[in-house]
Amino acid sequence: MAIDFHKYANPTRFLRLASAVFPWVTGAAVLLLVTGLYMGLFVAPEDYQQGETVRIMFVHVPAAWMGMSVYTMMAVSAAAGLIWKHPVADLSAKAAAPIGACFTLLALVTGALWGQPMWGTYWVWDARLTSMLILLFLYLGYMALWGSFDDHSKAARAAAILVLVGAINIPVIKFSVDWWNTLHQPASVATLDGPKIHGSILTPLLVMGAAYMMLFLSVFIIRVKAEIMDRRLQIMKISQLQE
Amino acid sequence: MMAGFLGLVRRELLLAFRQGSALTLTLAFFVIAVTLFPLGVGPELNILQRIGPGVLWVGALLSCLLTLDRMFQADFEDGSLDLLMIGRVPVELVVLAKVVSHWLTSILPLILITPLLAVSLNMPFDGIVAMEFALLLGSPALSLIGSVGAGLTVGLRRGGVLLSLMVLPLYIPVLIFGVAAVEAAIAVLPMASHLSLLAAMSLGALVVCPVAAAAALRLAVD
């Protein structure tokens, strides 16, 4: 089943699809967030070593997943925008950037709050923490670069080049815990031998992951819609001035 | 094509030497920036030895940034960039010529003066040798990554600040392994792996960055 995504280069078509999907996505986000938080905060057992602080993981881990996935998605969008001059792809990369930056910041902050009782320090300069920090800077640089162009299409292409160069950081973050001996624990969910976590913890974690994904989609649709409206508003203003 | 490339490098070097000031200014900035640290943290020799590799690397990164925003800017302003873009030499090679001359004029002098500063920071001999190797292998990546940032910000009003925001995060890996190599050498540990990674980063940047910078330049002139 191939989706002809060039069809959605037309903003009106995209808007129609987005508006149809939006209520479902938002509903799913609310439902999953409530279930996931309830399971994570009340049902899941405490860890025998970490005690109650293990519950920070249910907020922290999916945020880190999203921080990386959103950047990957931006890189794919940017490539599509550069190669096929797909206007909605450009907008989607722009719309996703602040959301991804928020997820990355959330992962860093919750990680620091967890690190204080567990590692005895808010911050260590190990590979994963540092590369997540670089990711945050990449998001900020992307947004700053986009903001400093007057011409939208130029901004889109320049920002796309920057995203693609920065995408090299994503595999570095993913594998940093395997390549270097770090304080951060190695991958324990998506490993070749299957998850290494007990189901009582894994289920709420995955529910929260799905909730974050839906939340992202919901906010993303709002932002892309706003971008398209903004663009139309500008065109209308210009044509009004010309009359 | 090769003649065109060499001609471009020669032109850049001639411009740099005849203008003169840029060369000595970067060097002076590097020396002053490094000198500030002993004044800031105090002259205890063991502290200086501990922070020496990091200070020298950070100083090199910042000095490299200083001249980066001029990489394409002057040519963009006087219109010669447009001529270079429509000339016979591929844009990627134009970028590479700019990178080579940036490295020769802005970074090579820093590498040459580093031993002197390293001695003043109480770095042992093994550390100085490692520092030189690490800089030689890692610094091409600095110029190459910088060329992407310079290409993207050419013609922008607040280009310089934006350039550092975009480029410095990408410099971090070079900084980490550059410092790690020197510290390994000081602790008499093997440093080959760090040096290999530095060389790998430079080679990887050599593949990716001229293409990306050329795309950015095409965007800037159209």
Domain-located, residue A61: yes
How many folded domains does chain A comprise?
A: 1
Q: Is A143 on the interface with B (CB under 8 A)?
A: no
| B152 → closest Cβ in A134, A138, A161 | A161
* Residue of B170, B171, B183, B206 to mutate for A, most A C-beta atoms under 10 A: B170
Is the pLDDT at A102 greater than 90? The verdict is: yes
Q: Do B148 and A161 touch (CB under 8 A)?
A: yes
Question: How does residue B1 score in pLDDT terms, banded at 50, 70 and 90?
Answer: confident
Question: Which DSSP letter does residue B189 get?
Answer: -
Average pLDDT over residues B159-163: 81
Is the pLDDT at B140 greater than 90? The verdict is: yes
Q: A71 with A170: CB under 8 angstroms?
A: yes
CA atoms within 13 A on the CB side of A57: 25
Give the model confidence (pLDDT) of B69-128 as tens digits: 888 888 888 888 888 888 888 889 999 999 999 999 889 989 999 998 888 888 888 888
Q: Which of A164-168, B29-33, B95-99, B212-216 has the lowest mean pLDDT?
A: A164-168
Q: Is A149 on the interface with B (CB under 8 A)?
A: yes
Domain-located, residue A9: no
Domain-located, residue A8: no
Backbone angles phi, psi at A47, to 5 degrees: -80, 145
Rounded to a whole number, what is the distance in Å from the CA of A242 to chain B's nearest CA?
25
Is the pLDDT at B66 greater than 90? The verdict is: no
**Domain enclosing residue A114, as ranges:** 20-183+205-238
Is the pLDDT at A1 greater than 60? The verdict is: no
**For residues B213 and B150, what is the distance between their CA atoms, to the nearest angstrom?**
8
Mean pLDDT of chain A: 82
Domain-located, residue A94: yes
What does the pLDDT read at residue B144? 93
What does the pLDDT read at residue B172? 84
ipTM of the complex: 0.76
**For residues B222 and B219, what is the distance between their CA atoms, to the nearest angstrom?**
6
> In chain B, which residue's Cα lies nearest the Cα of A154?
B219
Domain-located, residue A232: yes
**For residues A46 and A54, what is the distance between their CA atoms, to the nearest angstrom?**
7
Is the pLDDT at A199 greater than 90? The verdict is: no
Average pLDDT over residues A51-63: 82
State the count of interchain CB pairs (< 8 A) between A and B. Answer: 55
Q: A100 with A140: CB under 8 angstroms?
A: no
Rounded to a whole number, what is the distance in Å from the CA of A32 to chain B's nearest CA?
35
Domain-located, residue A175: yes
Q: Is A124 on the interface with B (CB under 8 A)?
A: no
Q: How far is CA B124 from CA B108, B109, B118, B120, in A?
A: 22, 21, 8, 10
| A165 → closest Cβ in B148, B153, B176 | B148
| B212 → closest Cβ in A138, A148, A161 | A161
What does the pLDDT read at residue A215? 92
Q: Do B215 and A161 touch (CB under 8 A)?
A: yes
Domain-located, residue A243: no
Domain-located, residue A2: no
What does the pLDDT read at residue B211? 92
Q: B48 with B110: CB under 8 angstroms?
A: no
Rounded to a whole number, what is the distance in Å from the CA of A40 to chain B's nearest CA?
35
Q: Which of A70-74, A99-103, B50-54 has the lowest mean pLDDT?
A: B50-54
